A and B are shown apart, each in its own frame.
Chain A
Amino acid sequence: MRTDFWQTPKKQMPETMMIPAPFDYHAPTTLADALALMGRLGPDAKLLAGGHSLLPMMKLRFAQPAHLVDLNRIDALRGIREEGRTVVIGAMTVENDLIASPVLQSRVPLLCEAAKLIADPQVRSRGTIGGDIAHGDPGNDHPALAIALDATLVLVGPNGTRALPADGFFLGTYMTQMAEDEILTEIRVPAIDSGTGHAYEKLKRKTGDWATAGAAVVMCMKGGLVDNVRIALTNVGPTALRAKDAENALLGKPFTDSAIDAAVAAARAICDPQDDLRGDVAYKTAMAGEMVRRALRKAASRCH
């Protein structure tokens, strides 16, 4: 029987233990305190939301912030409420609370459906909508959803509050319009009208995986013609992508197979995915097109 592995001395343990590098931990209970901390600690501080992107990166030592400012104790950043035609989602609202929200189920059901496709039940009890967006990872699902839903992102910083459209917020992989001393506080989503169709199609290898390719669609029809449509893609470029040309291929036209084909071709044309274990560039591009096709068909079937 081989027993030598029992005796491996500690010093021969791999150097990359799955433990983050040391940091100081701060748990403010108000937004003002969090902003003050971020201002005082400067670029060595990182905001901690659900931690399901940041903590794994810290464990792998891809990120080694000197300070973590945990937003989990700020109750004001959680919750979902209606303000007229707008649903306001606190940035620290976790995925499971999106799924369970009666307001979202009736006003923005797309977010409930899509959140069920994110990670797994345990991860969804920690992972937040705001963290998913602010991290700027093109593999995350909320960026494309926010773009398709025409959401507005509210950022609070030392110089006040600004509200930016989700479309244009994402600048590159892990790069967004959010400054280092700003905090994403709210995601403001226009309620989906009852006649408006919506769908999120996500191809993934297994539960918990990021999308090989994903497509979010929100559309409405009027008099047999596509009256309004927004299409956004997940994980087929350095950021979530708005498929503007694909939208234009449909706008004002009857929802026919040839119009769908044109939209799919236009969506594929903007794909710029990375080749990885989920597939090569050609496969991911083809799958992005297929996700657009499926999401369009499903959304159209929900239009009335």
Chain B
Amino acid sequence: MTKKLVAVKVNGSLVEKAVEPRTLLIHFLREECNLTGAHIGCETSHCGACTVDVDGRSVKSCTHLAVQCEGSDVRTVEGLAKGGVLHAVQQAFYQEHGLQCGFCTPGMLMRAYRFLQENPAPTEPEVRAGISGNLCRCTGYQNIVNAVLLAADLLQQTADLATKEVA
């Protein structure tokens, strides 16, 4: 089958590649862009380890074609930290020890990143519902939930600080 040219913004940089239409977004990111942060867990859209952001929505990149991303803005876990400074969700997962083996973590981080924009001040049950598409087989979720709640606080503090500085 003929390859198709796709132009995608990945973590802010334009990537242009010729891909087979059947190439899944997760394989495109890992094999064409060398971004191996997003993980291949179940390949059946259950586990959420491959979660990335596409045009401001969390998606499971194992169930999304790379060709469908033409013109899209894709963000992966590699795009979270800026200039060596961890993003608030990363800082919070680190502080709360929101991981054990770490396999689900890139997906958890990207889901938390988007979820906290959808709901900046969530309750604990809302956090649990918000990350219900991400499976962790180690932690029992408690520290992950704590981390997402802490990240919400950290983001709020940063926002408050920014408002103060402007004022």
Residues of A within 8 A of B (CB): 18-25, 27, 51-52, 55-56, 58-59, 68, 70, 72, 96, 119-123, 125-126, 207-208
Contacts and interface: CB of A to CB of B under 8 A. Distances in A.
B128 to A, nearest CB: 10
A59 B44 CA distance: 9
Contacts of B65: 25, 51, 55, 70
Contacts of B68: 27, 51, 70, 72
B111 A121 contact: yes
Contacts of A208: 46, 132-133
Most chain A CB inside 10 Å of its own CB: which residue of B23, B51, B58:
B58
A111 to B, nearest CB: 18
Nearest to A24: B1
Contact of A120 (B4, B43, B48): B48
Nearest to B66: A25
A51 B64 contact: yes
Interface in B45-79: 45-46, 48, 51, 57-60, 62-65, 67-68, 70
Contacts of B21: 22-25, 68
B13 interface: no
B24 interface: yes
A122 B58 CA distance: 5
Q: Which 4 A-B pairs have the closest CB atoms?
A: A120-B133, A25-B21, A18-B43, A125-B57
Contacts of B37: none
A51 B63 contact: yes
Most chain A CB inside 10 Å of its own CB: which residue of B22, B48, B70, B132:
B22
Contacts of B22: 19-23, 58
B27 interface: yes
Contacts of A21: 22
Contacts of B59: 122, 125-126
B43 A121 contact: no
B130 interface: yes
B96 interface: no
Contacts of B130: 121
B4 A122 contact: no
Interface string B110-135: 01000100000000000001111100
Nearest to A21: B22
Contacts of A122: 45, 48, 51, 58-60, 111, 133
A25 B4 contact: yes
Contact of A59 (B43, B46, B67): B43
